Each structure stands twice: as C-alpha cells, then as structure tokens.
Chains A and B, each alone.
Chain A
Amino acid sequence: MAEDLNWAVGGEAGDGIDSTGKIFAQALSRAGRHVFTSKDFASRIRGGYTAYKIRTSVDDIQSVVDRLDILVALTQRTIDENLDELHEGSAVIYDGERSWEAEIPDEITAVDVPLKSLAEDAGGAIMRNVVALGAACEIANFDVEYLDESLEKRFGGKGSKIVENNKEAARLGQEYVQENYDLDHLGYSLETTDNDYVLLNGNEAIGMGAIAAGCRFYAGYPITPATSIMEYLTGRIEEYGGHVVQAEDELSAINMALGGARAGARSMTATSGAGIDLMTETFGLVATSETPLVITDVQRSGPSTGMPTKQEQGDLNMALYGGHGEVPRFVVAPTTITECFWKTIEAFNLAEKYQTPVFLISDLAMSVTEQTFPPEAFDMDDVEIDRGKLVDDDTVDQWLDSQGRFRAHAATEDGVSPRAIPGTTDGAHMSTGLEHDELGRRTEETDVRVQQVDKRNRKVETAKEEEGWEYREFGNPDSENLILSWGSNEGALVEALEYLEEDDVDLRVISVPYIFPRPDLTDEIEAAEEVIVVECNATGQFADLIEHDALTRVKRINKYTGIRFKADELAEQITEKLSAEVPA
C-alpha cells in the first residue's frame, strides 16, 4: 500500500471544496489511478467545516484510512480537524498571505503558497483552489496536465477563456512550489496507467441503474442525502422519455410514484430519514394493492433529524417492519457502488415480477463516496428486464371471470396475479388498500381475507425459491472467524483483511446484499468458531436478525459516531473482538 496517496482539501462550506476535490479526483482517474473519496460536511449552506478527501492508488481501493499526506487547508480549522491524520511526511498547503496565521506542527511540512494572489494573476481570486491543486500536483510529483481534462470538463460550458485561466492558475501553483520549495524528500510520486476509469458515487449509480432498468417516472422530495438521485435523474431521464417531479412532500412523492406504477410505468421514489417515516403511511397501500414500486432509502444518522449529513445504518428495522399490519416486501441493500447500479435494476425486476414494494436501502457513506471503476462494471448489455405477468389485449381473456371481470388479484398458486395496465381492453379493475377479493373489491369475508393474505405472502415464498438470494464472500472460506456485514461496510472490511493478514489473522467475510428475503447463513455460522457482525448502528439490527435466524449469540462491532468504518480501525476492532468473550 506504499503507492497510496491520501489527499484532502478543507475549508468552509461555500469555499468550493466539493468541486475542488472532484476536479482532482477526476484528474487522478484520467491518469488511470484508482480513487476513493469521502466527504465531511455539515448541514449548512455556508460556513462550518467541510472537507473532501481522496485516497488514490494504482491498486484497487475500497476504503478510507486515518492518514493524510497532502492537505490543502483553506482555514485553520481544517488543520485542527485533521491533526491526528497528519504525519511526519505530510505537507500542508496554505495561504500565508491570508489573515490567519497557520499553526502547523513542526514535523509537518508547511507549504505556504499565495493562493489568492496567484489566482488573481491568472484572472480571478475564485481560482485559488485550482492554484492549490497545481501546488499539490507538484508535491505529489503528478503531472499537472492531467488536471487540464478535468478543468475542461468542469468549466468547458463557461467558455474557453475560463478553462484557459484555470489551467494557468494550476500552473502558477505548480511553479510557485517548484521555485520556492524542495520537497523531494517527502518522496511522493504518482504512477499513472493507461486504464480508463469512470468515477461516480452510489447515488449516481442508483440513478443510472434506474434509467437502465427502464424507470421512467420518479417522484421525490429533496432530503439529504437522497436528493442527488433526483438531481441525477433530472435532465437525463427525459432523454429516455421519462419525467421527474418534485412533489410537495414525501407523502405526495410516494403516492405520485404509486400512480405512475399503477399506470404501468416503472416508477421510483427515494428519500432518507424522516422522509421514509412519512412514506410509511402509503407503504401498506402499495403492498396491499400489489403495486410494483421501488422505494429507495438512503440512510442517514437518525432518529428524528439526527445528524442529517452523517453516516448510519439505522433504518433496517424500519424497512423490515415499518407500516401497520403485516405486509410482504423485499428489502435489498447494495454493498458497493457497482452493486447500487445492479441492485437497482434487480429491484425493478423484483417489484414487477412479484407486484410488491421493494425497499432499496443504501447509506450516506455510499451515496456521497466517489470511486473509480472500469466502465465494464456497468455493462449495459448485461441489463435484463423482466416485467412479470403483464397481460395485454390478447392475453387478458384467460384472467376474466364468468362475467367478464378482470381478476387483478387472482389467488394463483405462486401468489402472483396478472397485471393489466390502463389502456388494456377489458382489464379495467379497481385496487384498494382495503382488504379485497380477487376483483379488487372490498371484503370482510373471513375466507377471502385469509385467501388474499396467504396469496400475498405466497409471493415471498415463490421468490425465495426462484431468486438467487446470494451473498458476497471474501477472505479465507475455511477460516473459523466469520465476519458478517451489510451495506457500505464491505469495502473497509475487504481492506481490513489485508491488514489482518499481516498479523496472521485470517477471516471469512460475508457481505449480505439481501435483507429480506435473505440468504440462509445457518451453515456458515455453525461452521465458524467466532461470528462478528459489523454495522453502523448502535443496537445491531442486522446482528439481531442473524441471532434470530441461527439461534445463537454473535459478537458485534457497532459504530454510530456518524462516520463510516475505516479499514485500519476495523482491523484493530476485529482483533480485539476475536479475543473477547461472547456476550451472554
């Protein structure tokens, strides 16, 4: 892991931190290097501490670590917040001409660059971050020309003058460091490759997956961190004949999406935190009316408004049990950014095949993390679409009763009924959240009630048999130490394996992308001496499920600081847990 470079830019919200980081991340990606980013941001528009961190390597990386090599500090707080991660070989780029006196520990190399005045020389103070990027390139021994492409991508729309000014700003930063500092002893040198990578985050992968899956109608209400799914779809889904509507609230959003789904369009809504609570009112209706709908919950730190810009995996119980009464549902939880893409497609297929709501649960860490992948990781030729038992004018007849009425909720053997969408001749029918008969008409008859409840639950049994509810596995399959995880912790765990190998600790890591139905892990658990469940919540919601399934106690690693797991930290905690007592 010597090839790594850990870089960050930090300042106040409104300082352009995000775009600065994105420009550098894209430059690294264009240079054929792997990139893994993380963001630290506060719930405010201007002011407050915000940072964009990049870890880059020629090797694949899937996690952040507690280490910073080059830090662009636009404020003193940026330095203070990251002191723990700075080390003897670190360099801090700051602007000594600005009013604050940078307090930087002696062992860390302070690189004072007049960011603002160099930016003004290039055409405007606003480009001071780009000056800093040029300076960072020089320190890292990374060719500043790689920045040019990302500057073109970022500013191309604003005209060639702006692009040229930015390129100039980067070069001024580079030259300033060249002329005033000798930093070769830091030893940074970023190797490049010919690989073409794409760089995207989990929410973008979900949006892209939705379009690939044929989602045409999206209704949502802005909420951190789900909003960027809506932002991604806006302006793109129209190209494929779709539409995004910003509803007046989450209640409306899910009901609009329900309308779209009943009209036959593959439809989705996405929300987070409090929004998913509001949507819960309609959740039972979606399930009882047997409407295929994908409901995405990008988990953030709760309860109530909690910490809206921080990581947590605390909504699992909500997805499993939310809503009054008992309703069948699927809960799918992608474990990586590529999985965000593929599981979104699968969610749409499951929704239509089984005419059931599908919760697609992601989390904040995955939604804002940008990562590089070979483009084939999103090979559109592999996208398969299954619309289930959709009937048309020619096939509707076999589902009509003796009086010619469409049996929209026919109690079939597999529990799945035919589906007629508006416009289908003779398919007209009503659906309702009231208990109903096969025709969709209200009933309180005990026999029909039982028939319909059983029929809906039977869909889950059918799906359990027909779908591959698999898990992803890493490490040593014969290890007696079994680690179970769900959601975005997978990357950090996979890297933790490497740290632990160095200490001769071996692990079998199982990452579970399906919460309900989920793979049966009883055999794997029985084969292991030690079972540890890793998740970003306080109570261990997934661990509870595992204990329930396997009828045994497991150890737990829980993190609920609001920050995602880091590979090095996880390795340490796993070592500690392995020698600890199993809880009573």
Chain B
Amino acid sequence: MSSDVRFTDFKSDKQPTWCPGCGDFGTMNGMMKALAETGNDPDNTFVVAGIGCSGKIGTYMHSYALHGVHGRALPVGQGVKMSRPDIEVMVAGGDGDGYSIGAGHFVHAVRRNVDMSYVVMDNRIYGLTKGQASPTSRSDFETSTTPEGPKQPPVNPLALALASGASFIAQSFASDALRHQEIVQEAIEHDGFGFVNVFSPCVTFNDVDTYDYFRDNLVDLQEDEDHDPTDYEAAKEVILDSDKEYQGVMYQDDESVPYHEQHGVTENMSEIPDGAPEDAMDLVREFY
C-alpha cells in the first residue's frame, strides 16, 4: 500500500455505459475517492457487485473484483473478508439487488457485522430491465409492470438495517459529491458493517425521484446539531420519518464488535503448507 495512491488509480480504462446523467457516476466517484482517502490501493481492495446497472461498477473500477449473480454480492464479500481480514472489501449493489432478491442476505450480513462496507445505489426503479417497480418504488409509482403503482409500501432499507442490528447506517446523495464521499469514508472506517444507501437518480425511467426532488427535499443530518448518531432512539426517529429524505450518518454503534473479533478470524487463509499440516496425524488419532 502506498501513500501516493490517487483515486484515479481505482478507475479502469473502460468507459461506463450508464446513461448520461446517471447517478451511478457520482456514486462510483465517491467510492473511489473514499477508498483512496482511507489509504487503500487497488491491490489490497476487493470490490464485489451484483447485477443491474449498479453491478457494472466492478468493470469501471480497478481493483480485485467479482461481478456475481443477482442479489448475492454480500455473501461473496463476506467470504472474501472472512478469509482475508487483511483485504479491504466493498460491496456495491442496487435497490433490487439488495432489497428484493438479496433482502435475506442483507439482513444476515448486517447482523454478522463483518468489517466491510456496503454501498447501495438506490434509484427506486429497475433500470437495466427498462423501468419496472423496485422494492423502494413509491406505492403509486406507475411502471410497465405496475400500471397503477405497486400498491404496496416501499421497503425502508434503513429501518430494515436498524431492525437487523446494524452497527452503521447512513444515507447519501450521489450529486452531493463531497458529502457522499465523506459518508462512504466513514462507512469504510467504521469497525464493522458500514451500510450506505445512496440516492442515485435514474434519469431515464424515474421521473419522480429526480435530482431536483432530492435537492429540494434532502435534510443533511450534519446540519442538525441535535442529531447524535450513537443515540439509537434518535436514529430510529430519523429512519422512521417518512415525511423527509435525510442524508448523513443516522446510526453508529461505536461499541459494536465486528465479526472477526467475535469469531477470532484474524488469519490470512490464502497461505497454506505444501503438504498436510504438521500435526495432522492428530486428526486421525482422534478416531482411535
């Protein structure tokens, strides 16, 4: 790891195929900057992505990376981190990837509290399949598969995380570049599972949750001096407030114990002896 890593080192030479104006550009830039700012370099970083527009991120970034199957990026990321505590792991996903097909994995990744970060590009729509309702779409949001709206309340990912025992819950806005980067940085630096839901507008299929909408409605918790992220009740209030959209760190449990400490998982498991371990015959003797 070198101290002169620039965020552009995390950039690949592949040009993104995201639509012009897509929120994912800003989201990704913030992720790369946050990784560089926290002292990581591409050779010690592993980025996992799922499927969808968000899933393309591994292609546009440069690091060790895996682009997996739909909804299963979190398990891959946890497997990397559990076997390689020395590697920085970041998982990127979308709202469909993370809160629909991968919702079960989300709940369990949160409660395991593996020391990694999870950045979800939430555009409240399925973009790559051309505009169907996502789990975070509003109940009256009209789409090709829900002409009268989904008629069911959207998932509140922050509440889901809180209920699952999250130790770090944050939200950011792709267009507010500096704040987004700061928040992702905090997630990386958090000693445990750092979850960031990012408002990452889809300019092609979502004409409701637009840049303008977020600009007009976003409340930054940093400007609310009363908000103490270590206060669970205060976090709950903000997270369950359906009248406003917030950005910032909602909740952080400074005393949470990350997975590797709970389970004593500290070894780099990639290094093994040339043959069986020295005392391996003990394993056989156990069966006497």
- Which residue, of A199, A219, A251, A430, has the highest number of chain B Cβ atoms within 10 A? A430
When C-beta atoms are compared, the residue in chain A nearest to B10 turns out to be A428
| A380-B284 in contact given A256-B76, A285-B69, A428-B42 (Cβ < 8 Å) | yes
Bound together, the chains give a CA A431 to CA B68 distance in angstroms of 8
A422 at the interface (CB under 8 A from B): yes
- Please choose the segment from B92-100, B168-176, B214-222, B267-275 that sits at the chain A interface, where 4 or more of its residues have CB less than 8 A away: B267-275
B79 near A219: Cβ-Cβ < 8 Å? yes
Bound together, the chains give a CA A510 to CA B78 distance in angstroms of 43
Which chain B residues numbered 238 to 279 have a C-beta less than 8 Å away from chain A? 263-265, 267-270, 272-277
Bound together, the chains give a CA A380 to CA B284 distance in angstroms of 9
A428 near B63: Cβ-Cβ < 8 Å? yes
When C-beta atoms are compared, the residue in chain B nearest to A432 turns out to be B67
B72 near A282: Cβ-Cβ < 8 Å? yes
- 0/1 string, B99-138, CB within 8 A of A gives 1: 0000011011000000000000000000000000000000
| A430-B58 in contact given A252-B72, A281-B69 (Cβ < 8 Å) | yes
B270 near A264: Cβ-Cβ < 8 Å? yes
B193 at the interface (CB under 8 A from A): no
The number of chain A residues touching the other chain, given as a range, is 35 or more
| Nearest CB of B to A277, in Å | 15
B58 near A432: Cβ-Cβ < 8 Å? yes
Across-interface contacts of A259 in B (CB, < 8 A): 48, 66, 75-83
A422 near B80: Cβ-Cβ < 8 Å? yes
**How many interface contacts (CB-CB < 8 Å) are there between A and B?**
212
Across-interface contacts of A378 in B (CB, < 8 A): 283-284
- Which residue, of B44, B45, B68, B107, has the highest number of chain A Cβ atoms within 10 A? B68
- 0/1 string, A223-251, CB within 8 A of B gives 1: 00000000000001010111101011101
- Which residue, of B65, B263, B285, has the highest number of chain A Cβ atoms within 10 A? B65
B46 near A422: Cβ-Cβ < 8 Å? yes
- Which of B48, B82, B84, B285 interacts with A423 by CB under 8 Å? B84
Across-interface contacts of B62 in A (CB, < 8 A): 428
Which chain B residues numbered 30 to 78 have a C-beta less than 8 Å away from chain A? 42-46, 48, 58-59, 62-69, 72, 74-78
- Please choose the segment from A1-9, A161-169, A210-218 that sits at the chain B interface, where 4 or more of its residues have CB less than 8 A away: A210-218
Across-interface contacts of B105 in A (CB, < 8 A): 248, 251-252
Bound together, the chains give a CA A151 to CA B59 distance in angstroms of 60
Which chain A residues numbered 2 to 26 have a C-beta less than 8 Å away from chain B? none
A263 at the interface (CB under 8 A from B): yes
Bound together, the chains give a CA A199 to CA B284 distance in angstroms of 9
B64 near A429: Cβ-Cβ < 8 Å? yes
| Nearest CB of B to A353, in Å | 15
B64 near A428: Cβ-Cβ < 8 Å? yes
Across-interface contacts of A260 in B (CB, < 8 A): 79-80, 82-83, 269
When C-beta atoms are compared, the residue in chain B nearest to A149 turns out to be B288
A385 at the interface (CB under 8 A from B): yes
- Which of A252, A263, A289, A442 interacts with B80 by CB under 8 Å? A263
B86 at the interface (CB under 8 A from A): yes
Bound together, the chains give a CA A337 to CA B57 distance in angstroms of 46
- Which of A213, A214, A380, A424 interacts with B281 by CB under 8 Å? A380
When C-beta atoms are compared, the residue in chain B nearest to A208 turns out to be B283
Which chain B residues numbered 4 to 24 have a C-beta less than 8 Å away from chain A? 12-14
Q: Report how many residues on chain B are interfacial, defined by Cβ distance under 8 Å.
A: 57
A255 near B72: Cβ-Cβ < 8 Å? yes
A384 at the interface (CB under 8 A from B): yes
A460 at the interface (CB under 8 A from B): no
B59 near A247: Cβ-Cβ < 8 Å? no
Across-interface contacts of B63 in A (CB, < 8 A): 428
B64 near A427: Cβ-Cβ < 8 Å? yes
B272 near A214: Cβ-Cβ < 8 Å? yes
- Which residue, of B13, B82, B288, has the highest number of chain A Cβ atoms within 10 A? B82
Across-interface contacts of A211 in B (CB, < 8 A): 277, 280, 283
Bound together, the chains give a CA A425 to CA B41 distance in angstroms of 10
Across-interface contacts of A403 in B (CB, < 8 A): 13
A258 at the interface (CB under 8 A from B): yes
Across-interface contacts of A247 in B (CB, < 8 A): 75, 108
| Nearest CB of B to A254, in Å | 8
- 0/1 string, A284-322, CB within 8 A of B gives 1: 010001000000000000000000000000000000000
Bound together, the chains give a CA A204 to CA B283 distance in angstroms of 10
A422 near B44: Cβ-Cβ < 8 Å? yes
Bound together, the chains give a CA A247 to CA B285 distance in angstroms of 30
Bound together, the chains give a CA A167 to CA B283 distance in angstroms of 27
B281 near A217: Cβ-Cβ < 8 Å? no
Across-interface contacts of B87 in A (CB, < 8 A): 263, 422-423
A434 at the interface (CB under 8 A from B): yes
Which chain A residues numbered 181 to 205 have a C-beta less than 8 Å away from chain B? 196-200, 204
When C-beta atoms are compared, the residue in chain A nearest to B47 turns out to be A430
B59 near A430: Cβ-Cβ < 8 Å? yes
| A375-B79 in contact given A282-B69, A380-B276, A430-B66 (Cβ < 8 Å) | no
A472 at the interface (CB under 8 A from B): no
A375 near B64: Cβ-Cβ < 8 Å? no
| A243-B82 in contact given A380-B281, A430-B67, A432-B66 (Cβ < 8 Å) | yes
Bound together, the chains give a CA A435 to CA B71 distance in angstroms of 19
B68 near A433: Cβ-Cβ < 8 Å? yes
Bound together, the chains give a CA A464 to CA B139 distance in angstroms of 57
A383 at the interface (CB under 8 A from B): yes
| Nearest CB of B to A539, in Å | 30
A249 near B83: Cβ-Cβ < 8 Å? no
A262 near B66: Cβ-Cβ < 8 Å? yes
**8 closest residue pairs by CB, A with B:** A259-B79, A264-B270, A214-B272, A255-B75, A256-B79, A216-B269, A432-B67, A265-B269
| Other A-B pairs, 14, CB within 8 Å; known A262-B79, A378-B283 | A243-B263, A251-B72, A255-B76, A256-B75, A260-B83, A267-B79, A281-B69, A281-B72, A285-B68, A380-B280, A421-B270, A431-B65, A433-B68, A442-B59
Can you list 5 contacts pairing A with B, beta carbon distance less than 8 Å? A252-B104, A258-B76, A263-B79, A430-B65, A434-B67
